[in-house]
Chain A
Amino acid sequence: MLNKNFLSAEAFIRLFHEPLSLFDRTACYIFEFGTLPKSIFVNVGAFANRLSTFLGSLPVGPHYSVEIRKAEYLHPEYFAMLRARNAAHVFNAWTRMPELWRQVAMEEAYTADFTVSRALLRHGITYEAAVTAFEPYSRIQDPNPAAHDALRALIQKSLGERRPAYIFVNNRLEGNAPGTIRAVLDGL
């Protein structure tokens, strides 16, 4: 079924931007896209074009970012479009995305004057498997030092460039998000 609000700037402005503007509590917006089938976007160029139109129609000011879950979209065309709109690529740790450290190593992935990262899941591990393995999230059960290093690299780069960084860590990455954050910070 077609979602008439998909990539609708009008819907975003009316349903999110306008009401949230009253509160001044929003750090950034993250537009998350699942594993989009070719029936929606035939290739990354089609996705980038549509997304560019959407981002270009949004109010100037907020920090907009884009989280993709399709590895083949990590493409120069996608990054160039984001850079043109000063929208951030979300460095994401997720089941079927290249590991965080691989994305962090991509120079062209730094597309905005701020950084956004979501450390959600270890590569190859599904959400359901992580929930089963880690609940009730009382401790780190699957240490992921490579993810720690990648997050530290993002933090250090942002500090060095004096740019804001929004780093989100999920319990499903290692089993306990506060523990992950502590481990990352302890190694800085």
Chain B
Amino acid sequence: MTQDLANWSVFITRVIIVDGSALNRLLYVRYAETFPIVGGDFSFYQFPSDAFWSKLFASALAALRFGF
């Protein structure tokens, strides 16, 4: 699981949000079951759209909070 979580943190911006494949969704859920918060330091590369935020939050457990 440790390796899964490490991979998840590497790919969060590049894969999970964009792709949303079943495997990545699983990693996302497992991350949220372990950690209460995740750093979203991707937010300063560009101004995210409303659709981006919706997709991001819909793909994670409701309890997961973000630091932007």
Q: A7-47, CB under 8 A of B: which get 1 and which 0?
A: 00000000110011011011111101000000000000000
Say yes or no: B6 contacts A177, CB within 8 Å: yes
Quick check: is B5 within 8 A (CB to CB) of the other chain? yes
Residues of A within 8 A of B57 (CB): 23, 25
Interface class of chain B by DSSP: mixed
In the complex with contacts A137-B6, A168-B39, A177-B9, A25-B64 CB distance below 8 A: yes
Total of A-B residue pairs, C-beta within 8 Å: 72
Q: Give the complex CA separation of A116 and B44 in angstroms.
A: 18
A: residues with CB less than 8 A from B are 15-16, 19-20, 22-23, 25-30, 32, 116, 118, 136-138, 166, 168, 170-171, 176-179, 181-182
B: residues with CB less than 8 A from A are 1-3, 5-7, 9-10, 34-35, 37, 39, 41, 43-44, 47-48, 50, 53, 57, 64-68
